[in-house]
Structures are given as structure tokens and as C-alpha cells.
Amino acid sequence: MPRQPIHLIRDDLEFIAGRALQTPIRSCAALDAVTGRTILVKDETVQYGGSFKFRGAILGTRNAERGVVAAGSGNFPIAVGLAAQALDKPACLVMPADVAAFKREQARKTGAEVKIVERSELVDCARMEAHRRSWRNLHAFEDVEMIAGSFTLGSEIAAAIQASGPASDAVIVACGGGGLAAGVALALRSWSISTAIYVAEPQTHQRYARAREIGIPIRIDPPGDTLCDALRSRQIGVRAFEILQWSNVQVCAVSDELVQYAARLLLETCGIRVEPSGALAMAAVLGGVVDSERSRVWVIACGGNVPSLDREGL
């Protein structure tokens, strides 16, 4: 295998582990019966802020000397707001006007300043605010701290795989900008876990698949929208792309219809309340993308930021 594309600092990983929750891995016979194989769900919906994003946010915020600016559709700014609160640092959260009201309210509850702008202005507004204040502009998937956060999640899965004994495993992870998928894949390979890794994208937003076709990250023009609001990035991250290519992963696309089914199934069988983006990996299993010989499948439920009424209606 070629040289590892990125090396993380052990002290940073230990800092994250000391601040973030080690989330549970859940299973239930009813879910196994539906899929015909053993399903193990890494439940990041119970992480601080309701998603895996807190893992990287706490490190990125710690590394911000004065304050931190974060732009995103919901889970990322929520996580940064909580991290800033925990570390007693100021934060400015930039969110799109079409963000779900529940996520906007969760961001405000962190005590951080919240700015609402048009989605097309997110990046420019965050850059301007960071420059004006001389604060850190933390990026949701390009900055190494966010990949380090996802690495700790992947390490928890790797340890569980090793502890569970031999089996024909597969790991499925959702992909937007690629920070989660890259960190998880890097951790598994760093632990010498050679199992198949499937990177799942919304059917309308196949930016990693497109980047693989031409060999470099490229901005896509989606043919439609997706329910997975946390996975609407139009380009895979540069670091993420390099790591995923090095990690020898497979890529698949999933429809919104399967995402809705997966969300209902996780709630009804395991009691896990996920947002659409958090159901994408499970939806990939239901879509039949995993090789039939894979008897044990590890699925990451990466986020659960939806109000109870929405969850019950999925």
C-alpha cells in the first residue's frame, strides 16, 4: 500500500476521546431478520450535539486562538457552538436561510452568535466574519481536526471489530464532503482492518463517485435535491478524496425513498431516531449494495437532529 496520506497527532486524538462520548453500538434481532445478516449500528445520534461532528469540532475549537466561525446546514454549526460553550470561547455560526427550524434553534441554544444567510453565501460570509474578527474559520470537512474527530469514531469501530472475532465484515459510512468517510476509513486501515468499506452518497449528490471517475475532486451540478440536508456539499474535500483513494473503498448511491425506509426501520426495530443523512448508510444495506457474502455489517448512524414529531413521521 502507498504511504499513508495523513498522519494525526496522538495527543489530539486523546483530547477528542476525553471530551466526546464513546457512543454505543446497537443491534437487534428484528433488524437482522429484515436484512438477512447481522447489523451493528454505531449510534452517533447520542453524541453531544446529536451527531459525529462534535468530535472534530471540539479539537478545531480548542485550536482556535481567539474565536471560531463555522458555516453549515446544521449539525456542524451546532457542534461548534457546543464546543465553544464547553471551552468558553466565542463562536459565530453561519447557517442557510432554508435550514430546518429545529436545527436553527439548536444552534441558538448553544449561546453562540447565529447568522442566517442565503445558502449560496455561506462560504463567503464565513470567510468575511472570520477575517473581520481575526477568528478561526473552521471548515466542516477540509480541516484536519474534523478528519481527526472521525478517526476516533472509526477507531471505536475498529476496536469493536477486533473484539468481535472473525467474520466477513463490511463497514458502511455516509459521505457528503467526505470528512466522516475519510476519518473512518483511515482509522480502519491504520488498525490493519482490511474489511470492505462502502461510501454511500445520495443519488442526486454523487460528488465522490464523480471525482473517482476523473481522478480529482470536482464541483458537481446535482440533477435534483435530497432529503439528506447534511450531505448536500457539491464537492468532495481534497484531503478526504486522497484518503478515500488510499483506503481502497467502494462507492454507492442511495435514493431518498430508501433513506426514508431506513429511518423508519431504525426507529421501529432499534429505537434509533435518525435524520435522513443519518439513515443513509442503513439505506445502502437495504438497497443491496453490500456483497452477499458479508455476514456482519457495521452501519454508522451519523446524526439525529430532527424534532420528535418529524422522527415519528419518517
Coil, strand or helix at 287: coil
- Average pLDDT on 247-270 reads 97
| Least trusted range by pLDDT, from 216-220, 245-249, 309-313 | 309-313
CA 202/CA 222 separation, integer angstroms: 10
Please tell me what DSSP assigns to residue 41.
E
Contact 22, 267 (CB under 8 A): no
CA 237/CA 234 separation, integer angstroms: 10
The Cα angle at residue 155 between residues 274 and 80, in degrees rounded to 5: 55
53-138: what CATH class? alpha beta
Q: What dotted CATH number matches 10-51+144-313?
A: 3.40.50.1100
pLDDT of residue 314: 34
Q: Would the pLDDT of 200 be above 80? A: yes
Q: How confident is the model at residue 307 (pLDDT cuts 50, 70, 90)?
A: confident
Domain boundaries, the chain: 10-51+144-313, 53-138
Radius of gyration of the chain, Cα coordinates, nearest whole angstrom? 18
Percent of the chain with pLDDT over 90: 89
Cell of 13: 486524538
Q: Would the pLDDT of 12 be above 80? A: yes
Contact 69, 91 (CB under 8 A): yes
Biggest CA–CA distance in the chain, Å, is: 55
For 263-304, what is each residue's pLDDT tens digit? Answer: 999 999 999 999 999 999 999 999 999 998 999 999 999 999
Cell of 36: 438477512
pLDDT of residue 137: 98
Please give the mean pLDDT across all residues of the chain: 94
Q: How confident is the model at residue 5 (pLDDT cuts 50, 70, 90)?
A: confident
CA 109/CA 97 separation, integer angstroms: 18
Q: Would the pLDDT of 130 be above 60? A: yes
